[in-house]
Structure 1
Amino acid sequence: MKILLLEDDVILHESLKIYLEMEGFEISSAFNAHDVYNITFENSFDVYIFDVNLVGENGFEILKSLRESGDNTPTIYTTALVDISSMSIGFSLGADDYIKKPFDPEELVLRIKSRYIKNDYLLYKNIHYNPLTKEIYQDKHLVVLSNILSHIFDLFISNINKIISNEILLAQLDNPNQNALRVNISKLKTKLNLDIKNIRGVGYILEDI
């Protein structure tokens, strides 16, 4: 899920960005109206997270301009302004939600997931995988993988019973070589009890048996 984060407090911005990226979201940064207009001109997003109190154009004015240009991207405001008048302005412009500052980043994540993410899990044996958040559950327990193993797992679970070429798999490694690939495949098989088979000279396949 692609999110545009508009927040002019550099420290808060960076902490939110890191937290959201750890949750599997793809974050683009904006610190003012100029950033927003430039970024949204060339990119589309699934959700906007906009601060209201900004130098220059505020979050309300920015969203108003975007809506007038035909941009209807779902939007969450982060603000200390939670009086009825301010909330009314935001909702009238097409905002979906408010979250009052200061807030726990986990609350923001929960609101994003509950509002905008459908639980379209991929299933394999006792494994449930959410391709949007990259969360893996085995027997209802969250499984945490390294970045490399997570990327490799995503390839296999999204292509069950299809051969993944050695070239594609090697591209997931920091130092691509066949020995490192074998080691990582072995770790993944052991960690999640996967039926991954080596197709000699071609690649690997996750079989649904």
Structure 2
Amino acid sequence: MSEAQHLLVVDDDNRIRDLLKKYLISNGYRVSAAANAATARKLITTFDFDLAIFDIMMPGETGLELLESLRQGGVRVPVLLLTARGETSDRIEGLKSGADDYLAKPFEPEELMLRVAAILRRTHVEPPPEEIEMSGLVFNAKRAELNDGEHHVRLTEAETHLLSMLAAKAGEPVSREELASKSPGSTERSIDVQVTRLRRKIEPDPKQPIHIQTVRGIGYRLMPD
């Protein structure tokens, strides 16, 4: 089971801060909380957060000032701003300062959860698996090796590069255009040729591929076991 995503809630209102923490925890998140910007800074230097929720209108250093300072310091944690100020100019100011989204108080908890989930989907990218299995073959992208048990399957440099790009997005369609643009000296037609050659080395039946699938109108998709 994967570890719960870690969120930071920063709000000087004890009631709202506690409610947010309880609600987020009940929805499966791991949550830390801070009542001010100073405490938030200490937590951010101690933990790796997947998302932070800042209230703008805090005494002393505001949530907006905290956000601007973090962005200037190179801290890229995604941030959702909360505030009672709902004017368009305030939203624009927050987004210009590096916020990923903005939600005005009062808000429905369900809307908050939807916005949190949307930000996490946009910003959280799972690292590709180091090894991918395909009908008894194992491709290790880090070592750029395709092995059949103890036997090494020879790939050309172009085939290795292509297989690595598909493996990095396993299960997702990758366009011919993208594959060609990231392969030096390749065209969309040459990508098709390389795919045909790869299928001969990988597929149990190259005429009916199950691992390097054609996605009509787009390109190709690598499907591991």
CA distance in 2, matches of 1:18, 1:107: 16
Residue identity in the other structure for 2:64? F
Larger Rg: 2
Alignment: residue pair count: 120
Aligned-partner SS, 2:115: helix
Aligned to 1:18: 22
CA distance in 2, matches of 1:86, 1:104: 20
Aligned to 1:46: 50
Q: Which runs of 5+ in 2 are unaligned?
A: 127-225
CA distance in 1, matches of 2:46, 2:120: 22
Residue 59 of structure 1 is aligned with which of 58, 63, 72? 63
Aligned to 1:71: 75
Per the TM alignment, residue 108 of structure 1 is displaced from its structure 2 partner at its CA by 0.6
State TM-score, norm by structure 2. Answer: 0.51
State TM-score, norm by structure 1. Answer: 0.55
CA distance in 2, matches of 1:115, 1:55: 27
Identity among equivalent pairs (%): 38
CA distance in 2, matches of 1:110, 1:85: 23
CA distance in 1, matches of 2:109, 2:20: 7
* C-alpha contact 2:78 2:119 (8 A) present in aligned 1: no
* C-alpha contact 2:95 2:102 (8 A) present in aligned 1: no
Following superposition of structure 1 onto structure 2, how do residues 58-137 of structure 1 map, counting pairs within 5 Å?
A: 58-117=62-121
Aligned to 1:30: 34
Aligned-partner SS, 1:60: helix
CA distance in 1, matches of 2:43, 2:31: 12
CA distance in 2, matches of 1:71, 1:101: 26
CA distance in 1, matches of 2:59, 2:50: 25
Per the TM alignment, residue 114 of structure 1 is displaced from its structure 2 partner at its CA by 2.4
CA distance in 2, matches of 1:14, 1:70: 29
Q: Deviations over 1:49-96 (max 9, x none)?
A: 000000100011000111111101111111111212211211111101
Following superposition of structure 1 onto structure 2, how do residues 154-193 of structure 1 map, counting pairs within 5 Å?
A: none
Which portions of structure 1, spanning 4 or more consecutive aligned residues, are displaced by more than 3 angstroms?
none
Q: Which runs of 5+ in 1 are unaligned?
A: 121-209
Aligned-partner SS, 1:81: coil
